Amino acid sequence: MFISAKGFAAAMLVAISILTLQTGASAQTGRASWYALTSKTASGERCNPNALTAAHPTLPFGTKVKVENLKNGKSVVVRINDRGPFVGGRIIDLTKAAPSALGFIRAGTAKVRLTVLS
């Protein structure tokens, strides 16, 4: 299998950013959104809008992540149990309980910092 130098470089950047976030060496900042579905998640469990869970594109299921609202300093710990978000510019989708605690239900999205705890 052949991979171009450009493709290899892009893959390496993705791998480095995933490893950095997973090891907690650095926090990731970006926009968070929320959802209140009750369908099955990518991990197979039923989504519970009242639970502190979240969707992330790459972190392993079960990973605990501290999510801090950069506007007001409030933070909450969520467990990754789903995949997403599927909207450009967003780094995490939270179930409804988390943005309620973080103070951004009405706004719909917020700029947050993610720090992997375990």
Instruction: Classify burial at 74, counting beta carbons within 10 Å of its beta carbon; exposed 0-12, middle 13-18, buried 19 or more.
Output: middle
2-16, 28-42, 63-77: the lowest-pLDDT one: 2-16
**What average pLDDT does the chain have?**
85
Rounded to whole angstroms, how far apart are CA atoms 45 and 29? 27
Q: DSSP secondary structure string, 30-61?
A: EEEEEE---SB-TTSSBP-TTS-EEE-SSSPT
Q: Global pTM?
A: 0.77
**pLDDT tens, 20-50?**
455 555 689 999 999 998 899 999 999 999 9
